[in-house]
Amino acid sequence: MIMSGLTRRLAIAALACVTLAAPAMAQDASTEPDTAMELGWVEGQADAPVTVIEYFSPTCSHCKEFAEDILPIVEETYISTGKVRFIMREWVRNSVDRTILTQARCLPKKNGLSYLKDIFARQEEIFVAAQVGTLPGTLQIVGTPYGITDREKLDACYQDMDIRFDMLEVEKSAEKYDIHATPTFIVDGTVHPATKAMMTPEGFTAFLDAELAKAAPETN
């Protein structure tokens, strides 16, 4: 069954992400196999010159800021124009994250992404619900437009072993990149923990422009 709540200590800890501003780190493997790229919620064309993987947590306040203030601009300016392929992958920090993500993964990919955006919009409400033991009811309200209309369906998603195996594969991918903070971005095998400069629309678009410049073919 779904956990009915969090301790106050865990709920407070969920309000903040791990400290920003760690340096970028290159990994041994420069790219992932194509089959691994579908480990998440994908937006954009497969042949986009730059693919960005974001590791996020539903209870991360910085991830909420990115989803609401920056991602819409990225979707309009870079993803819809074929410049960037964007992949969201979870990094589970607590039981609330796990419960939310089993619901998101229960849905078709497009609906799952919309559900996660709705979760970010109600993040403060979810923190309160976790504290007072009403999280399942709150998630049912969020999930109702997507067909998660009652506690039975909520629990079925939570207990689905196929979903848990998918989440385990994502966890393995996070270990490969040594993820330890959210949000963290991966481009061409290089890890970019979010910095304060990146966490603004202007800063993140400058980051994408620099990555696109690296990916541009050289001309004589």
Is the pLDDT at 11 greater than 50? The verdict is no
- The chain-wide mean pLDDT, for the chain, equals 87
Q: Tell me whether the omega of the peptide bond preceding residue 49 falls within 30 degrees of 0, making it cis.
A: no
**Residue pair 123/64 in contact by the 8 Å Cβ criterion:** yes
The C-alpha atoms of residue 110 and residue 100 are separated, in whole angstroms, by: 16
**Residue pair 62/196 in contact by the 8 Å Cβ criterion:** no
**Residue pair 27/189 in contact by the 8 Å Cβ criterion:** yes
- Residue entry with tokens 């939310």: 100
- Give the bridge partners for 191, in sequence order: 25, 186
pLDDT for 184: 97
pLDDT for 216: 84
- Residue entry with tokens 């963290």: 184
CB atoms within 10 A of CB 110: 11
Long-range contacts of 141-147 (CB under 8 A, 24+ apart): 142/103, 142/115, 142/118, 143/103, 143/115, 146/107, 146/111, 146/114, 146/115, 147/107
**Per residue in 23-38, pLDDT tens?**
455 444 445 544 455 7
Domain locations in the chain as residue ranges:
25-214
The C-alpha atoms of residue 186 and residue 211 are separated, in whole angstroms, by: 11
- Give the bridge partners for 25, in sequence order: 191
CB atoms within 10 A of CB 206: 13
**Residue pair 95/131 in contact by the 8 Å Cβ criterion:** no
Question: pTM for this one?
Answer: 0.85
**Per residue in 100-147, pLDDT tens?**
999 999 999 889 999 999 999 999 999 999 999 999 999 999 999 999
**Per residue in 69-111, pLDDT tens?**
999 999 999 999 999 999 999 999 999 999 999 999 999 988 9
* CATH class of the structural domain 25-214: alpha beta
Q: Residue 41 corresponds to which tokens in the numbers above? A: 């919620």
